[in-house]
Amino acid sequence: MNAFFSTKPARAWIDLCQSIGIAAAPINAIDQVFTDPQVEARGLKIAMPHGAVGGRNVDLIGSPIKMSATPVSYRLPPPSLGEHTDEVLRQFLGLGDADIAGLHARGVI
């Protein structure tokens, strides 16, 4: 399939699909996401401070839902990998500190 699809640029395949009623769109690389005209038009780029980069702002995708009477409030950045693991294990599985420490010690989490 790679050999076949590499005979034309991605835009040609997208245009062909769309012309015959097949929904198609490019998959943007990270450096293309925030320059996409639709992302810009919808105001989807937000910035929030994040601990993973020393509290500096990181660019994030905002909610596509826009309601005038109840605008979205962004309170917290996305969690880092494993940031809330211990909390979740305590709250939803009822594990105690010793159980959680044992999971950490065995490399389970």
Measured CA to CA in angstroms, residue 50 lies from 3, 22, 84, 96 at distances of 42, 39, 15, 29
pLDDT tens-digit series, residues 12-45: 999 999 999 999 998 988 889 999 899 999 999 9
Count: domains in the chain: 3
77 CB-near residues (< 8 Å, 6+ apart): 48, 49, 50, 51, 58, 60
Q: Say which residue the tokens 């810009």 belong to.
A: 40
Domain of residue 62 covers 34-75
pTM above 0.75, yes or no: no
Are 71 and 38 found together in one domain? yes
- pLDDT score recorded for residue 84: 95
Helices within 27-95 (DSSP H only): 30-33, 37-41, 85-93
Are 86 and 63 found together in one domain? no
87: its two tokens? 């909390």
